[in-house]
Amino acid sequence: SAWAMRLADARGTPSDMPRAIALWRRAAAAGDIVAARHLGYAVWRGHDPRDADPEPYFRQAAEAGDADAMNALGVILEVADPD
C-alpha cells in the first residue's frame, strides 16, 4: 500500500496511477482496509475508467473500522439518496 501511494502521488517516482490501482485492488482483495479506502478514493475521483462505483471499497474498509472510509461512504450514500 505504501508503494502504491508513492506511485499515485509521484513521491520520489513518476506517477503511475494504473499501477497504484492494481496494487490497491490486489491488497484490498487480500483484506487490506487501507488499500480498500485508497482504491475507493481513486475510483471516486475517476482514475479507473473500468470502475465507477467506489461504494464497495469504502464499505469494505468502513465495515473493518476505518473512520475515513465510514465518512466517505456516508457522503456517497447521501449524494446517491439525499432524501
What is the model's pTM? 0.82
Q: What is the pLDDT of residues 8-25, one digit of tens each?
A: 665 666 678 898 899 999
Q: What is the pLDDT of residues 25-45, one digit of tens each?
A: 999 999 999 999 999 999 999
* 4 pLDDT above the threshold of 90: no
Q: What is the pLDDT of residues 42-82, one digit of tens each?
A: 999 988 888 999 999 999 999 999 999 999 999 999 887 76
The CA-atom distances, in angstroms, between 65 and each of 23, 30, 35, 59, 80 are 21, 16, 13, 10, 22
Give the pLDDT score at 60: 97
